[in-house]
Chains A and B, each alone.
Chain A
Amino acid sequence: MQKYAFNLGRPRLWLPPKIILIMKLIIVLLTTCLMQVSAATFAQKVTLQKSKASLKEVFEQINLQTGYDVIWKSEQLKNAKTINANFKDKEVKELLDEVLPNQGLGYTITDKTIVIKVKEASFLERLVDRIMAIDVRGRVVDEKGEPLIGATVKGLALSTSTDKDGNFFLQNVSEDAVLEISYIGYMTKTVKAGKDVGTIRLEMATSDLQEVKINKGYYTESKRLSTASVVTVKAEDIAKQPISNPLQALQGRMAGVYIQQESGNPGASFNIKIRGQNSLRGKFDPLGDGNLPLYVIDGVPYNSSSIAGLAAMNGRANPLNSINPYDIETIDILKDADATAIYGSRGSNGVVLITTKRGKEGKTVIDANVWTGVGEVGHFMDLLNRRQYLDLRYKAFKNSDIIPDPNNARDLVLWDTTRTTDWQKELIGGKANYTNAQLSFSGGNQNTQFITRGSYSKETTVFPGSLGQNRIALHSNLSHRSTDQRFSLSLTSDLSNINDNLIYGDYTTAALTLIPTAPAIYNSDGDFNWETDQDGLETWTNPIASYGGTKANNKTLSSITNINMSYKVASGTEIKISGGYTLTDLDQHQITPLSSYNPKSPYFQYSTGYASHSDNKIRTWIVEPSINYSKAVGKGVFTGLIGSTFQSTNLNQLAINASGYTDDDLINDLAAATSLYVLMHATSQYKYFAVLSRLGYSYDNKYVFNLTGRRDGSSRFGENKQYGNFGSVGVAWVFSNEDYFKDSKILSSGKLRGSYGVDGSDQIGNYGYLNSYNVTSPYNYQDIKGLRPTRLANSDFSWEETKKLNLALEVGLLKGSLLATVEYYQNRSSNQLIGYSLPSTTGFSTIQANFPATVENSGAEVSLEATIVRKSNFQWTTNFNISFPKNKLVEFKNLSTSSYKNKYVVGKPLEIFKSMTGVAVNPSTGLYTYNDLNGNGYGDQEDATQVHSLGQKYHGGLQNSITYKNLSFDWLIQFVNQKGRDNSRNLSAPGSYYQNESTEVLSHWEKPGDISNRQKIGIDYIPYGQAYGNIQYYSPLSIRDASFIRLKNVSISYDLKSVLGKRFDLSRSRLYVQGQNIFTSTKWKGLDPESISYNSLPPLRLITIGLQITL
């Protein structure tokens, strides 16, 4: 390459290629000679006395007594004769020299490896060897098949280290050289050189268990010396689960992380809590959820808040739906201050780092993976059947001494009471179809690697009709590293398009409340059956007509492009710059045609069709320059990082209502509407800027100290309140590296670590400080539009703060076959950003402000990782985690006058329910009684003084992975101990209305003396409805045990390589069956204890079958 570098006009020194070759050879030969000399200096002695000893036995003894590995090929010893060995303290070399030549064999010694050859190579022969030198490539992985980065590969004098994918490439290696592969924490291995030595698997050494790199976004560090609390899920665990959202992959697998799937509808939203709820602004707070973690994809922060479009079946769409989970290599969750402080202002709710897949050096790999399966509701509620229902109703009328008539009992008088429909089966009893197909091409050479993965997934629902969602995604990455290893570049692109026709609302409520004798959905002529009365009014709400009449079409287009570049300016100093551009377009259309109205109704003449359209666009760019520095100082290593972040997000929203359509055919045409109004047409901008730095010092691999500091600015605050300072301190003591533990047989690794720091949050809307007017109302007056004050402006609010303390003990026992981590944390969030309630005399009901309220999350987490069996054809590993989260509202000034007064209680968790006291069925009257504390004769909020904590007491998971020969079996059990509210009681008094109920109602009070918690059946308001109404909303009886143990995931996989691999060039192929939410054990009476809700579809039970072929 630099041949011409000195050719500045001077005649070039001419050398024929042959001469150059000779020169090269001389250098090589000299080196080899030196090697030989050094080998000869070894003096290991062997004693062996045996007659008729085979060479194999001799070699074994050498290995046994000296530790030298002896490598030979069996055909080399085919013709070998036995010898009468009589050696005493004989040097290895001497011994070999004595034994081998007679057999026509020679040897070489490289370090501690002896390679037996057919004949001692002569100088000439060796010369030939050199000429025939080959280039060797291969890949080094750990026991789990994960690449080992930076492993040392030595072949004679040459050595190299593996790249970030574990690949290495060594040039000019003798064909019969022996490679030595070593990596700290792993047992060194030797292999014979070859053009492609394939994948070399290193096994963990007895100590230094944790020489694993962990990803912390701006930097990586070795787990052994880390002071941070980080949990990780890898691609192989994701691959075991038939899922569509990355968050599903984490359920039950991570200590300190609780993820609740809120419904079983495609694209459902998730509730993720990393070490509890910090912000008082919950999911449905008008100012926005203050508890979202920060998502970072390939180093670039990703907008995680839902886009406020039109309401849809799956709630507010979760932006992570756009990411195909199978494109992900690892998901790391950063929990404590040391880990999250580097994201400072935005790390208070934890940070989720997603790293997508990259290509690997080596031949081009084609990977195809297809799975398909069905989902269904795993458990139906026990509801009244026709007979039970009718008996209950008749009894109610009899008890009230009222004759059923068309006004009070349309179900008994107007409807056919002989019909029976199982509405759960009818409305939510279908099978949802799942299909997922992926095809990827990847490969590359030492310098450049690529991957491109296309995927298609389709999910339908369990509802009647053809509702569903599909996603097409394309993931690509191109990585390059210059030959001198100084410059590296990585370009990642993720494109996805989600298309769905999911309507607003689902059929679950109807399935649980429609009575068995309710009318048929369709008339005999196939039209919707409205079961009209003599006035033409419908006597029931036809669920399919009212929901299914609506049509929806939603599209989400998402594109994430990231570029990361780094350059090593000098040893230990690296300049990095990363940038990203994210685009999200959400395009929604919802249509309510005339055909969804009852045509016989007297109101029908006034009805017109209407449509809503919404278009939302989010654009974010981010640039993050940084400098990494590291230097060995004495026995220690100093590392430093400084960097900066510039981010800008623009949001454009447009929502239009079109109405007055008298013709369903034209309903998609805005021009055909008689009136149009703009619900929203807004733009907003968010800017963010930060400077950050991290200093680390580790001494002697024993003592570690890390300091992180950061200053953040956000445009969401008023001019003088934009900046906040955040930082953390982390320390660790690797006590197993102390001398007195060094020789311990039990303890293989051990570390104590702790961290303390401050994180922040600016998760509020934009422009809270701006004093302005806007068009709020869609209407006009005299053809003039109105301008209304937008808000009560406040320029004084600033960052919310979370102080985090974390203490942990990590130990590895019995040569690392048991790894245990125990952590304790205490986080306190203060300066809470909330909508502070004001009396309406101020013109508004709230103002955005910081509030001196403090929320504390504390708890303990235990993770265990055990290798139970590790044999070549049988492996069994177990992972276990359990978390005990505790949440408490420590302080809230003037809570009683805030809008949160009914929601929170100081000293109690944020998730509570306040109930009345003394709720019971009076054994003599059969009616509900309660303590009417305010004496107003009605049960209301003021009577609700008893506080019940809801939420999780503890949760965790137990995962087992067993591999026997070609068969792998993996299962995950999730367990959660929690209380939930049975809000099915929010119906009217049992028996008084035509609504189905749980069979629990059958245990109602019958006669004086009965003890029951269901009151007497009756239909009139006084006394039945009144007594029921009094306890309806604040009854402690609604608190139920929602704990569950669930077989969350099962995966059985059969490795096809041994079956098919001989015929095809297959490196990894498997046939698998997987299941999700297979079995649940719970006392919860509702559909599902995870989602708890009675109004939305529970997470489905899913069984799939799949095939993966890798060529």
Chain B
Amino acid sequence: MNIMKNKYSYTALIALTCAFGCKKILSIDNPTNQTSTENVFNMDSKATSALIDIYIRMAEEGSGRFTSQSALLSGLYSDELEAPPINGNSPTAGFSETRLQSNNPLLTPFWSESYFCLYQVNSVIEGLEKSTMLSTQLKMQIQGEAKFLRAYLLFELSNYFGDIPLVTSTDRNINQIISRSSRTDVLNFVIKDLKDAEQLLPSDFSFSGGIRIRATKWAASALIARAYLYNRDWVNAESESTKLISSPLFKLEDNLLNVFLLTSTESIWQLKPVVDPYFDTFEAQFFILEVAPGTEQVFLRSSLLNAFESGDKRRFDWVGNTPDGNWSYPYKYKLKGQVNETEASSILRLAEQYLIRAEARIQRGNIEGGITDLNALRSKRRASPTATVPNPLPEISALITKEEALLKVFQERRVELFCEYGQRWFDLTRSGRAITELKTVKPQISQKDLLFPVPQTERELNPNLSQNMGY
């Protein structure tokens, strides 16, 4: 009896105590270094920070995915770069020998870093939708930048992987079991986002202090031009690239050494390096060789070196050699290990727009117009005549067939855009020439290799994620 009585009083005691303040007893302060999501989108400066972080994440070492990693892996996977034959079982060997497997450890970050950034983009877009306290102009600009970045990320992913999950919200319940959307649907979504962005974004660089490290209307246009080109929509590709070529903001550089500087007039959108203590690009950090390449280092394939015509200044200014002359490396970015904030990874630049328009024009039958664009670019890439090369990088005659002209465009793209974030690889796959062109360096290449496999771990975590053919 006694025990029972006590039990009751004990229960009553708990009930009383809880009624009067269990919740309060356990209430804690939010950590000083965290801000609730709601607060972030109620202040201009915080909302800006939320957006800026996406650029930072893209430029960070861990996700070099958007700069050096993208250049490296696509370069190895196509025919630009080669790894020294040190360890045949290494993850990079999977790329350089084109026997990529879905469990390659370099593949997962290549996929997941994009989705981590996409989550942030969607979080910003959703935050802005709910927010009522931001200034209209800033809200538009952030929305525009977010949409541009979302389009860029999705476009890149689908170029590498084909069909991909089209993630457009932060809802875990949806995203956890999302299936892949067709490449066409992704492309349509990308173009729609870019069109929105084009409307929302400012048309000059004043808001970013004159340098071109944030998305503008022009960045949206440039990416739309590329998207149309990849989608074989020649009319729109030509009109979008014309916008950029005719804008006074952009001009091909006379000096090749200026092309990849922060001050370059060719650049449309750059990612500024952020990682201390270098403050220089990962491209320079990674590609420049002081001595023979070691493990985890790469060098330029001789086939690419041979692709440069004589008198092409790009061969001299954008290709570096080790002191012993045995090894060459991409040398577009020259500052390594210095605190010198003058270079930035140029992701969208004017030269590409010339090449887009040239290709679009030729495809539409305007061979002369296309060749004019090619020659305009070549005139800026020409070395001075010398005794041995009296006629460096000669003008291309317009009196050629469409097929010949298109080959000229691809050749020009190869030497202009080498080691720039998958450009060569995408050119090979979209033109259907990948297998024939790569057969010489990679005898075992087959149709399935044209798309990266969806990472195995991702498929294990999401039963609805299908795999590309052949993997």
Contacts and interface: CB of A to CB of B under 8 A. Distances in A.
Contacts of B306: none
Interface string A338-360: 00000000000000000000000
Given A674-B339, A687-B25, A642 B56 contact: no
B49 A1021 contact: no
Interface string B182-196: 000000000000000
Contacts of A776: 53
A840 interface: yes
Contacts of B176: 838-839, 841-842
Interface stretch (A228-236, A295-303, A712-720, A1077-1085): A712-720
A677 interface: yes
A878 B235 CA distance: 95
Interface in B212-228: 213-214
Given A713-B25, A715-B27, A787-B50, A770 B36 contact: yes
A775 interface: yes
A76 interface: no
A774 B27 contact: no
Interface stretch (B10-18, B67-75, B134-142, B309-317): B10-18
- Among B18, B33, B111, the one with the most A-chain Cβ atoms within 10 Å of its Cβ is B33
B89 A1029 contact: yes
Contacts of B101: 936
Given A674-B339, A695-B3, A786 B52 contact: yes
Contacts of B112: 840, 845
Interface stretch (B114-122, B366-374, B399-407, B425-433): B114-122
Interface string B161-187: 000010100101001101000000000
A941 B35 CA distance: 41
Interface residues of A, number: 86
A181 B380 CA distance: 110
B27 A687 contact: yes
Interface string B284-309: 00000011000000000000000000
B458 to A, nearest CB: 5
Contacts of B277: 608, 610, 659-660, 674-675
B462 interface: yes
B306 to A, nearest CB: 26
B470 interface: no
B174 to A, nearest CB: 9
A691 interface: yes
B88 interface: yes
- Most B CB within 10 A of own CB, among A684, A695, A779: A779
Contact of A840 (B32, B46, B116, B275): B116
A651 to B, nearest CB: 9
Given A776-B53, A787-B40, A897 B461 contact: yes
B25 A638 contact: no
Given A840-B111, A1021-B85, A638 B53 contact: no
A23 to B, nearest CB: 45
Interface string A746-781: 000000000000000000001100111111111111
Nearest to A722: B26
A785 interface: yes
Interface in A808-862: 837-845, 847
Contacts of B408: none
Contacts of B88: 1021-1022, 1025-1026
A773 B291 contact: no
B123 interface: yes
B33 A774 contact: yes
A772 B3 CA distance: 48
A439 interface: no
A709 B214 CA distance: 60
A537 B289 CA distance: 13
Contacts of B274: 777, 779-781
B123 A606 contact: no
B275 A771 contact: no
Nearest to A897: B460
Contacts of B165: 841
Contacts of B22: 689, 713, 722-723
B203 interface: no
B52 A642 contact: no
B272 interface: yes
Interface stretch (A396-404, A734-742, A788-796): A788-796
Given A772-B30, A787-B53, A940-B103, A782 B208 contact: yes
B34 interface: yes
A660 B170 CA distance: 40
B350 to A, nearest CB: 22
A683 B2 CA distance: 48
Interface in B68-115: 85-89, 101, 103, 108, 111-112, 115
B56 A786 contact: yes
B209 interface: yes
Nearest to B322: A535
Interface residues on chain B, size class: 35 or more
Contact of B26 (A714, A787, A841): A714
Interface string A695-730: 101000000000001010111000100110000000
A771 B37 contact: yes
Interface in A846-898: 847, 896-897
B291 to A, nearest CB: 5
B59 interface: yes
B115 A843 contact: yes
Given A695-B3, A781-B56, A784-B52, A675 B276 contact: yes
A1014 B387 CA distance: 63
A974 B36 CA distance: 53
Contacts of B339: 660, 674-675
A638 B60 contact: no
B172 A772 contact: no
A660 B276 CA distance: 10
B35 A781 contact: no
B91 to A, nearest CB: 11
B23 interface: yes
Which of B6, B85, B214, B463 gathers most chain A CB within 10 Å?
Answer: B6
Interface string B243-279: 0000000000000000000000000000010111100
A547 interface: no
A293 B188 CA distance: 56
B349 to A, nearest CB: 19
A684 B7 CA distance: 37
A681 B53 CA distance: 18
B466 interface: no
Contacts of B458: 839-841
Given A535-B291, A775-B33, A782 B214 contact: yes
B463 to A, nearest CB: 8
Given A603-B290, A714-B26, A786 B31 contact: no
Contacts of B290: 535, 602-603
B103 A693 contact: no
Contact of A838 (B26, B52, B214, B461): B461
A648 to B, nearest CB: 8
**Shortest Cβ-Cβ A-B pairs, 8 listed:** A843-B119, A786-B53, A606-B337, A840-B112, A779-B274, A772-B34, A839-B461, A787-B49
Given A687-B27, A844-B119, A897-B460, 11 more contacts: A681-B32, A681-B33, A686-B28, A691-B14, A691-B17, A772-B30, A781-B213, A782-B214, A789-B123, A843-B122, A1030-B89
Interface of B: 2-3, 6-7, 10, 13-14, 17-18, 22-23, 25-37, 40, 46, 48-50, 52-57, 59-60, 85-89, 101, 103, 108, 111-112, 115-116, 118-120, 122-123, 165, 167, 170, 172, 175-176, 178, 208-209, 213-214, 272, 274-277, 290-291, 336-339, 458, 460-463, 465
15 contacts: A610-B277, A660-B277, A687-B27, A719-B23, A767-B34, A771-B37, A781-B52, A782-B214, A786-B54, A787-B35, A788-B57, A789-B119, A840-B116, A841-B462, A842-B176
